[in-house]
Structure formats: C-alpha cells, structure tokens
Structure 1
Amino acid sequence: MGAVNEITVLVVNTLISLAIFVFLLRVLLQLVRADYYNPISQTIVKITNPLVLPLRKVLPPVGRVDTSSLLLAVLVQAIGIAVLYKIYAGGIPNPAQLLVWAILGLCGAILSFYFFAIIAHIILSWVAQGTHHPAAALLHQITEPVMAPFRKLIPPLGGLDLSPILVFLSINVLEVLLRHVGASMGLHPALVMGL
C-alpha cells in the first residue's frame, strides 16, 4: 500500500470513528437518561441535530432508543467500511454483507467505548474524587448501568471496587466472539476499527 493510501485510510478511520462516537454517544445518553443539561450532552445534541431531527420525523425513537442516531451510526460505519473496502479490494461489497459488517463494527465500537469510558471513570475517581466536572458526571451516568450488575456479583472489598475486572473480562470475551463472527462473515479486521 502506498503512502497516499495509508494516509487516506488514516483520515477515513479517524473521521468515521469520530462520527460514530458522536452518534453512539447520543444514543447512549438517551438510553441511560443522562443529564440533558450537562454541557457535554448539549454539545453532542447540537452537533447531531442537523442530521438526527429530519430523520426523526420518519423514524421516531422506540422507547429510550434513539433509532435515528443509531441508524446514522450504522450508515456512517457502512460508508467507512465501503471506502476502506474500495481502497483495499478495489470494489464495493455486497449491500447485505456491508450492513452486517456495519452492525458488527458498531457493536465493536460500543465495546471499545465502554472499555475506555470505564478506565477514564476509574482514573477520575482516583485523581478527582468529589469534583463536579461535567465529563466526570457524564462518565458516571453512562458507565453505572453497566457496572451496577457486576457490583452485585462482587461487592466492594474494604472500599476497593473489583467489579471493573469482571466488566473488562466480559468486554474482552465479547470482543473475541465479535471478531470470530466477523471473520465467519468475511469481515477483514482492517475494515473496522476495534475488531
């Protein structure tokens, strides 16, 4: 692969990852009922509104699931995979296969997001305990629904919360399963970041 193609892959991966992150974050914020008035939540809503609001007229939310943002995340993932496939293989994948790959990639993105969000939450709980920073509050609201069931399995021991170990183990197991499912569907790992 030439330098131009490597740079193109780097730029595409970065832009696609950022777009997916923003749309997924909007989905997760609504799903966990995070503080709407948090400045970070407000920024995510303002960034995504130009695409989400028109789509929401034909695809309203289902319960707490923001289907418009979720569909946009899948579409962005599919576009990214199609561009990378064109660079690597010189063609366009089958649309049904592309949809499956995009969904698998989105699942991988969610797992990666939670992995890093929990690490960030742990670090902030050590170095900035008791602060009321908007990012810390949002991280807590997003990660707590995932952490709570594991805390019931392993209650804190002497003030030390060991439940993240089980969460990280579960995320790693799910990532391995996702990689194997992706490989069985013909998905090359270079096409999706996080897989």
Structure 2
Amino acid sequence: MSVNHEMENSMAGIIFALIQVIQMALTLFVYILIASAIFSWLYAFNVINSRNQFVNSIGSFLYNVTEPVLRPIRRVMPNLGGIDISPIILILLIYFLQMIIANPIAPALLSLVS
C-alpha cells in the first residue's frame, strides 16, 4: 500500500467522522426544537410555574438557542393566526439536510475508504 493511498483513507475517515458529528448535532438540535415547542405550550397554558428560577432558566436557554434559527423562518411564513409552524418547517429542513449529507456524500466517502 502506498503512502498516498493511506493518506486518502485517513482523510476520508476523518471527513466521515466529521459528517457523523454533524449528523449527531443536527439530531440534537431537533430534540431541542421539540423541547422548546413543548415548553412554550406548557408556559402558555400555565402548566409550569413561570416564577420558578430553574424553569425560567430552562425557558431562556431554549429560547436563546432556537430563536435565532426560527426568526428568519417566521419572517417568511404567512400569518396563520396563533399557530406557529416554524419549528415544523425547520425540522423538515434539518431532515432534508441530513438526507443530503447521508445519501450522496457518505457513500462516496465509504467507497474511498474501501
């Protein structure tokens, strides 16, 4: 085996590992989006105590993490009354991005490693 081929294999392995980390981060962000939506419902219906400092810190964390990504989607979306479907749109976009990463890119890298 040549040194050049071993370098290609190691670079492909590093890129594949990076893709896996990106996939995991996107999945984690989907879970955070779902938690943020559920938290906002619980907050809106007074199921949780909004004066509790721990609950308030969780709410501010979820808001600060998700709002910068959801705000541009909300600007583009038409007004649907009191219904906010921007988290659903973002989750669909994330899954679409994951499919683009998983299908054409990852198999090409695996073929380089083999």
TM-score over 0.5 (shorter chain): yes
**Alignment correspondent of 1:171:** 94
Structure 1 position 163, deviation (Å): 1.4
**Alignment correspondent of 1:185:** 109
Identity over aligned pairs, percent: 28
Q: Please, which of 13, 16, 28 is the counterpart of residue 101 of structure 1?
A: 16
- How do residues 1-16 of structure 1 correspond to structure 2 at under 5 angstroms? none
Question: Normalising by the residue count of structure 2, what TM-score does the alignment of the two structures yield?
Answer: 0.73
Distance (whole Å) between structure 1 residues aligned to residue 78 and residue 31 of structure 2: 22
Superposed CA RMSD = 1.8
SS, match of residue 81 in structure 2: coil
Which protein is richer in helix relative to its size?
2
Equivalent residue letter for 1:157: L
Distance (whole Å) between structure 2 residues aligned to residue 155 and residue 117 of structure 1: 24
1:117-154 C-alpha deviation (Å, 9 max, x unpaired): 11000000011337252122111101111111111111
User: Any stretches of 5+ residues in structure 2 without a counterpart?
Assistant: 1-8
Structure 1 position 106, deviation (Å): 1.8
Does the CA contact (< 8 Å) of 1:151 and 1:163 recur in 2? yes
Structure 1 position 186, deviation (Å): 0.8
User: Any stretches of 5+ residues in structure 1 without a counterpart?
Assistant: 1-93, 188-195
Runs in 1 of length 4+ with deviation above 6 angstroms? none
Equivalent residue letter for 2:110: G
1:135-177 C-alpha deviation (Å, 9 max, x unpaired): 2211110111111111111144211111122111111110101
Equivalent residue letter for 1:104: I
Highest RCO, 1 vs 2 (Cα 8 Å, sep ≥ 6):
2
Describe the shift of the 1:164–1:156 C-alpha distance in structure 2 as closer, same or farther (beyond 3 A).
farther
Q: Please, which of 25, 49, 56 is the counterpart of residue 110 of structure 1?
A: 25
Question: Normalising by the residue count of structure 1, what TM-score does the alignment of the two structures yield?
Answer: 0.44
Describe the shift of the 1:149–1:126 C-alpha distance in structure 2 as closer, same or farther (beyond 3 A).
same
Distance (whole Å) between structure 2 residues aligned to residue 117 and residue 178 of structure 1: 21
